[in-house]
Amino acid sequence: MYSRKINIAIVSKNTDLENRLARAIIPAEADISCVTLASAAQISGTSPDILILDFADETFDSVARVDESVRLVLCAAPEQLPPAALSDQVEDIWLKPFNDTIITFQYQKLIDRLLLVRKHELSQHYLDTLINSVPDLIWFKRLDGIHLKVNDAFCRTVNKTKPDVEGHDHYHIWDIPKEVYESSDYVCLDTDTIVLATRKPGVFDETVAGKAGMRQLKTYKSPLFDRRGELIGTVGVAQDVTELKNTDAKLELILRTMPFAVLVKDLNECVINANQKFEEFFQVDKDAIIGKRYCLQSATADSGATPSNLLHYKHDKEVRLRHDGGELILEIIKEPIRDFFDNFVGILYIFRDVTVERNFQEQLKAIAYTDQLTGLFTRRYLYEYMNKYMTASTVNLLYIDLDNFKLINDTFGHHFGDEILKETGLLMRKIFPNDICVRMGGDEFLVAITGKTGVASLKEKADTLIKTLKARFPLFPEPQRFSVSIGIATFDGHAGIPLDELLRKSDLALYKAKNNGKSQCFVYAPADDGGASDLRPGKNLL
């Protein structure tokens, strides 16, 4: 509770009255300062809050010179009462001779009234300061719609002063003729009626027309009751959301014209907004998902895919959809949405169409992975593919080299040599349809076989390739006799070995097959890796 300073001046020839008042019990919040003066002329500076005049020593002329804000008390005998013209300036009359009980009672009541007025003034100041500090419109109305109090924001919105608002009705304030209001979409008075009828607060969307044009308001209205519970009016708070609505319209325009699918969610995964591209790509009606949880998910035994045209979903990375008879590939860009205070309030999803880009990448990858002459895979593909399997399962390599290919090339020309390379690639794909067939470069080839495969089976396939190629080109003279040599190396995935090491071992086996007369296959011997001497004819020959 605030301490309230009260200055009292007593005009009297003696301090008898001051002494009487000093014995009175007053509220603790009142800080009394009392002084006795011989004449009203001695009052200087700030006027006192209470001036007590003893008419035994002063005349009525002193009353006329008192400031109107001063609470004036006259001490007089019944025959000395002031004229009626001065009654408005007089707060109280204390009759003489004084009775201590009566004087104390009147003095206490005078102080109580002054404190009550001060509290009322302070409460009014609190209220005015509060409502004028609020950027929203605030008003108090009587039951008949007359505005009793409004704040500064209200006046700025209607472009009127408070004297031109307070004490006036809705039509005067908003400059709307009654007949125009009744034939329009304005609902301000209608919502007042709802609040009064239900005797409960309500939230409404209202449109009003002022000098600044049409304004869109979000209003919060509550009924007001007196201490007996009787309705006496309403209080309203309105947010001018015109600019927000305009911003929403601009945002909708931006979303509508964006070339990306856009989805906005709140923290509960509920959809706040989505654009037309999203509706088109995901085959969904925006109005059907607004305010509801919407999550991408593949089909399960219990439910279908969301959306129904979903082909594949890589969490927050990529989504593939059926679209226009083909496949649509969308890259997902996920960004957090934060408010003015940097609080996380939602998520923005942008789905960028990368179908052409990905298809082009696949074409480039296919070019990089495919040998243009033979149609087999390249060394680059081998390394990328084998990195997925070298530590997971058994891998077997058949390293293949064409015997006497340089002589054939030099004798019959490079065009004929290219035909041999093409035919070799064709036969490799036929004999090893489920394996990785690679042209390592020049006249060197390789077959990678993953999974558990017996050495006998590997040898059988290698021999088949040797015999098939020899039968395909039987007419070369002895110096250019066409054949192939093959080196075989196997790898158990639990042992752990780099691909280059396995290639080295298969190359050693190939070297032994070449030195042993060509047109045959050898298996690498892991017992002693001292060189090709460990590959003895018959021991590892399949």
Looking up residue 101, the CATH number of its domain turns out to be: 3.40.50.2300
Examine the domain organization and report whether 353 and 374 are in the same domain: no
Neighbours of 448 (CB within 10 A): 23
Torsion over CA: 430, 431, 437, 442 (sign): negative
Examine the domain organization and report whether 173 and 85 are in the same domain: no
Q: 530 is written with which tokens? A: 């001292």
Examine the domain organization and report whether 197 and 58 are in the same domain: no
Q: Report the Cα–Cα distance between both ends of the chain, in Å, rounded.
A: 107
How far is it, in rounded angstroms, from Cα 476 to Cα 76? Answer: 152
Examine the domain organization and report whether 389 and 498 are in the same domain: yes
Count of structural domains within the chain: 4
Q: What share of the chain is helix, strand, coil (3-state, %, to 5)?
A: 40, 30, 30
Task: Determine the average pLDDT of the residues in 519-538.
Answer: 61
Lowest pLDDT segment from 168-172, 194-198, 436-440: 168-172
pLDDT confidence bin for 435, thresholds 50/70/90: very high
Examine the domain organization and report whether 100 and 26 are in the same domain: yes
User: Does 252 map to a domain?
Assistant: no
| Tens digit of each residue's pLDDT (9 = 90 or more) over 188-197 | 678 888 999 9
Residues of the domain holding 105: 4-125
User: Does 253 map to a domain?
Assistant: no
User: Does 365 map to a domain?
Assistant: no
Please state at what angle helix 455-472 crosses helix 414-431, rounded to 10 degrees.
Answer: 140
Examine the domain organization and report whether 68 and 26 are in the same domain: yes
User: Does 364 map to a domain?
Assistant: no
pLDDT of amino acid 288: 92
pLDDT confidence bin for 539, thresholds 50/70/90: very low
How far is it, in rounded angstroms, from Cα 398 to Cα 401? Answer: 10
Domain boundary among 240, 269, 293: 240
Q: Has residue 56 got a pLDDT over 80?
A: no
Alpha helix (H) ranges present in 145-263? 152-158, 170-174, 178-182, 188-198, 242-257
Examine the domain organization and report whether 330 and 460 are in the same domain: no
Examine the domain organization and report whether 86 and 144 are in the same domain: no
pLDDT of amino acid 458: 92
298: nearest Cα among 309, 285, 284, 289: 309
pLDDT of amino acid 367: 84
16: Cβ contacts below 8 Å, ≥ 6 apart: none
- Residue 75 carries which DSSP code? E
The answer to whether the beta carbons of residues 107 and 99 sit under 8 Å apart is no
The CATH number assigned to the domain holding 432 equals: 3.30.70.270
The phi, psi pair for 531, rounded to 5°, reads: 140, -170
pLDDT of amino acid 300: 82
Task: Determine the average pLDDT of the residues in 361-386.
Answer: 86
Is the backbone of residue 269 left (phi > 0), alpha (psi -120 to 50) or beta?
left
Question: Which pTM was predicted?
Answer: 0.48
Lowest pLDDT segment from 119-133, 350-364, 414-428: 350-364
Examine the domain organization and report whether 467 and 508 are in the same domain: yes
How far is it, in rounded angstroms, from Cα 471 to Cα 323? Answer: 50
User: Does 246 map to a domain?
Assistant: no
Examine the domain organization and report whether 302 and 209 are in the same domain: no
How far is it, in rounded angstroms, from Cα 221 to Cα 233? Answer: 11
Percent of the chain exceeding pLDDT 70 equals 86
Q: Has residue 1 got a pLDDT over 60?
A: no
Examine the domain organization and report whether 342 and 439 are in the same domain: no
H helix or E strand, kind and range, residue 419: helix 414-431
Classify each residue of 115-142 as buried b or exposed e, where b means 16 or more C-beta atoms within 10 Å of its C-beta.
Answer: beebeeeeeeeeeeeebeeeebbbbbbe
The CATH number assigned to the domain holding 290 equals: 3.30.450.20
Q: 406 is written with which tokens? A: 């340089």
Domain boundary among 358, 378, 393: 358
Task: Determine the average pLDDT of the residues in 301-324.
Answer: 90
User: Does 230 map to a domain?
Assistant: yes
Q: Is 462 exposed, middle or buried (0-12, 13-18, 19+ CB in 10 A)?
A: buried
Q: Has residue 3 got a pLDDT over 70?
A: no
Q: Has residue 535 got a pLDDT over 50?
A: no
How far is it, in rounded angstroms, from Cα 69 to Cα 92? Answer: 14
Q: Which residue matches tokens 């679209």?
A: 323
Domain boundary among 304, 325, 358: 358
User: Does 113 map to a domain?
Assistant: yes
Strand, coil or helix: what is 283?
coil
Examine the domain organization and report whether 76 and 112 are in the same domain: yes
pLDDT of amino acid 533: 38
pLDDT of amino acid 538: 34
Task: Determine the average pLDDT of the residues in 142-160.
Answer: 92
Alpha helix (H) ranges present in 34-98? 61-64
Q: In what order do the strands lie in the sheet with 271-274?
A: 271-274, 261-266, 344-353, 326-338, 318-323, 310-314
Percent of the chain exceeding pLDDT 90 equals 45
